[in-house]
Amino acid sequence: MNQPEWLSITEFAQRLCLSRHTVEVLVKTGDLKVFNISPGRNRPTYRIPASELETALKIMKTESVSHGGDNESESPALRDEV
């Protein structure tokens, strides 16, 4: 039986070339499945299953498109400047 691979927030961020802050936001919004390995403490310590890497990639791709990754979100005045 294969054991799932668990990653810290930092390890998860490094695998995807994201900032730690970006991964923390995905955790806080509930977009990623996480496990708190220090319940009852003031500051939780999360582990994220490696299987969530694919989920995070899909989220980041969707957000890139929805936030105008192709510069469509710029105002016309900004696009016209040379």
User: pLDDT value at position 76?
Assistant: 45
What is the spatial distance between Cα 27 and Cα 24, in angstroms, rounded to a whole number?
A: 5
Given a cut of 80, is residue 11 above it in pLDDT? yes
In this prediction, residue 42 carries a pLDDT of 86
Listed by start position, the domains of the chain span: 6-65
Per-residue pLDDT of 32-82, as tens digits, reads: 999 999 988 788 899 999 999 999 999 989 887 676 555 444 444 444 444
| CATH class, range 6-65 | mainly alpha
The pTM (predicted TM-score) of the whole model is: 0.72
3-state helix/strand/coil string of the chain: CCCCCEECHHHHHHHHCCCHHHHHHHHHCCCCCCEECCCCCCCCCEEEECCHHHHHHHHHHHHHHHCCCCCCCCCHHHHHCC
Q: What is the pLDDT of residue 69?
A: 52
